[in-house]
Structure 1
C-alpha cells in the first residue's frame, strides 16, 4: 500500500512539472553546459554593466591621455590608475575597450539573429504551408543564397551600404534568414501532413489561425536551437568584417575592431592589444555554442552523443 501511494505521489509530481521545469532539469545535468551558461551570463552581464564597471569610457577623448599609450598590463598611467590589461596606442584602457566592445558585438549578433529569425520564420512557414509554386520559388531563392559563402555576401552588401552598426545588422540579417527559412520549412512540412492540421483545414479555419495556433508552436523548439548557435556565428562574422575594416566604424568599437587595431603591433611585443580582445571573443563564442549544443541535445535526445 505504501509503495502504491509513493508511486502515485511520484507520478503526480511528474505530471505537475511544467515543460520549462523539465527542460531546466535536463539542461542542468551537463556540467559543460552549466559552465557555458555561467560564462554567457558573465559576458552579457559585463557588457550591460560596462558604463558602471569600466575604468573609463575608452572612446571619450576627454578621458584619454596619449602619454599612456602602449602601457603593459598592470602598469600605472599618468593619473595613477592601474591599467589591468594595458592600453593601446591611443592610451585607451584595454579592459574598458573590451567591455564596451562586447556591447557592440552582442548588439549586432542578437539583433541580426532576431531580424533574420523573424524573416526566415515568415518565409519558411509560407513555403511549407502553401506548397506548390510558392514553395518552389522560395526554396530556389534559399538555395541560391546558401550556395554563396556568408562572408562574401556580407562583404558585397557592406561595400554597397557603407560602415555602421545598422549596416552590419542589415548585412548579417540578409546572410542569416535563409538558414532559418530552411529549418522552419523542414519542420513545418512534417507538421503540415498531420491529422490535426487537416482537421483544422476541414473546419475552414483561416490560414493565419492555422499557422499561428498550430504550425508555429511546433516549429519553435528547433528554431530556438538554431538561433542560439547563429548568435555566435553572427558575432564571429561581425568580428571578421570589422577586422577587415568594413564592419563597424572606429567610433563604435567591437571586439573585431579591437583585435584589428593591435594586429600591427603583435611583432613588436605589444601582444595585449589584440590577444585580450581575442580571448574575450573566444570565450563569448564558446559559451554560446556550449549552451546551444546542450539545448539541441535536450530538445532532440536522438542527437545527443
Structure 2
C-alpha cells in the first residue's frame, strides 16, 4: 500500500480526535457551568452533603449522647461559653444543653438519609411502572395510569399524614410513606418519554432480533428517557426533604431520639415567645439553604436537558 493510501486511511482518525474530545457530557457540563447561581447551588449542596457525612468528626458534641449534655448549659444564646467545659457554643444551645451546631449537623444526616433512600425506592418503582405502561400499552397502561392519576389527585402531605397516623412515628415509616407519595411522579415522567421512544425504529429492530421484553425495556428504551427523569429526581429530593421536615414539625415524622431539621424547628418553636429564637432559627436557615441549593441545580438541569427553556 502506498504512503498516500496510508495517509488517506489515517486522515479520518486524526480529524475524529477533536470531535471525541467535545463529548455530549462535556457540552452539557459546559452549559451547566454557564449559570453562576446553579454552580453556587451545586457547591452549597455538596458542602451540605459533606457536613452531613462527616458530622461525627466535625460536630463539637454528640447531641444524642446524654453523657455529653449538661443542663447548666441549657438555653445559652449564640457565642456563649459552656458553664462546665468552657467551650464556645457558636449557635447556642437548647433547653437540654444540646449544642445547636451539632444538632443541625446530625439533623442534616437524618433529613438527607430519609430523602435519598425514599428517592431511590420511589424511582425504582416509578420507573418500572412507567416503562411497563409505555411499552405494553393497552390494559396495563390504563391500569397503571389510573393508579397514578388517583395518587396525584390527593395532596402528598395528606396521604403521608394518614399513613403515619396509622403506622406511628419512625424513620423507616417516614421513608415508606415518602415512597408511596412520590413514585407516581416518576411513573408519569418516564411513561410520557418512553411512549414516544417505544414507537421508534430501534425498538422495532430489537423486536425483530427477538430480544426479551425486559432487555428491550431496561437496556434500550429506558436509557433514552433519563434526561427528564434526572430533572424530576433533582426537584423531588428537595420536595422530599421539605415534606419530611413538615411531617416532623407536625409531630408525625421521625422520633425525638433521632431528630431531623424539621423536628429541631418544632422543638424551638415553643421557645420563640421567650426570646430564644436561635433554637428554631438556625435549623430553619439550614433547611432553607439546602432546599434552595437543590432547586437551583434542578432548574439549571431542566434548562440543560431542554434547550428550548434556555434564555
**Higher mean C-alpha displacement, 206-215 vs 142-151:** 206-215
1:74-153 superposed matches below 5 A: 74-78=79-83, 79-153=85-159
Structure 1 residue runs without a partner (length 5+): 1-7
Q: 1:240 to 1:140 in 2, by over 3 A?
A: same
2:67 equivalent to 1:66: no
Residue among 37, 40, 45 paired with 2:42: 37
Aligned-partner Cα distance in 1 for 2:244–2:115: 8
Task: Identify the match of residue 246 of structure 2 among 222, 225, 240.
Answer: 240
- Residues 22-58 of structure 1, C-alpha deviations (whole Å, 9 max, x = no match): 2221111110110001101111111111000101001
| Number of aligned residues | 298
* Runs ≥4 residues deviating over 4 A: 8-12
Equivalent residue, structure 2, for 1:3? none
Over 3 Å counting, the alpha-carbon distance change for 1:89 and 1:136 in structure 2 is same
2:53 corresponds in structure 1 to 48
- 1:147-203 Cα shifts (integer Å, max 9, x gaps): 000000000111111111111000000000000000000000010111111121122
Structure 1 counterpart of 2:277, from 267, 271, 276? 271
Equivalent runs, 1:128-207 vs 2, <5 Å: 128-207=134-213
Please give the alpha-carbon distance, in whole angstroms, between the structure 2 residues aligned to 1:158 and 1:279: 26
> Which runs of 5 or more structure 2 residues have no equivalent in the other structure?
1-12
Structure 1 window deviating more from structure 2 (138-147 vs 16-25): it is 16-25
In structure 2, how many angstroms separate the alpha carbons of the residues matched to 1:113 and 1:123? 15
Alpha-carbon distance in structure 1 between the residues aligned to 2:268 and 2:159: 27
Q: TM-score, normalised by structure 2?
A: 0.93
Residue of structure 1 in register with 2:18 after alignment: 13
Q: Which residue of 2 aligns with 1:4?
A: none
Shifted more, 264-273 versus 14-23: the winner is 14-23
Partner of 2:237: 231
The equivalent of 2:297 in structure 1 is 291
Query: Partner residue of 1:24?
Result: 29
- How far 1:267 sits from its partner (Å)? 1.3
Q: 1:84 to 1:195 in 2, by over 3 A?
A: same
Q: Shift of the alpha carbon at 1:10?
A: 8.8
Moved more, 285-294 or 200-209: 200-209
Supply the distance in 2 between the matched residues of 1:14 and 1:271 (Cα, whole angstroms): 57
Larger Rg: 2
Question: What is the root-mean-square deviation in Å for CA atoms of aligned residues?
Answer: 1.4
Q: 1:210 to 1:250 in 2, by over 3 A?
A: same
- SS at the partner of 2:290? helix
Q: CA deviation at 1:93?
A: 0.3
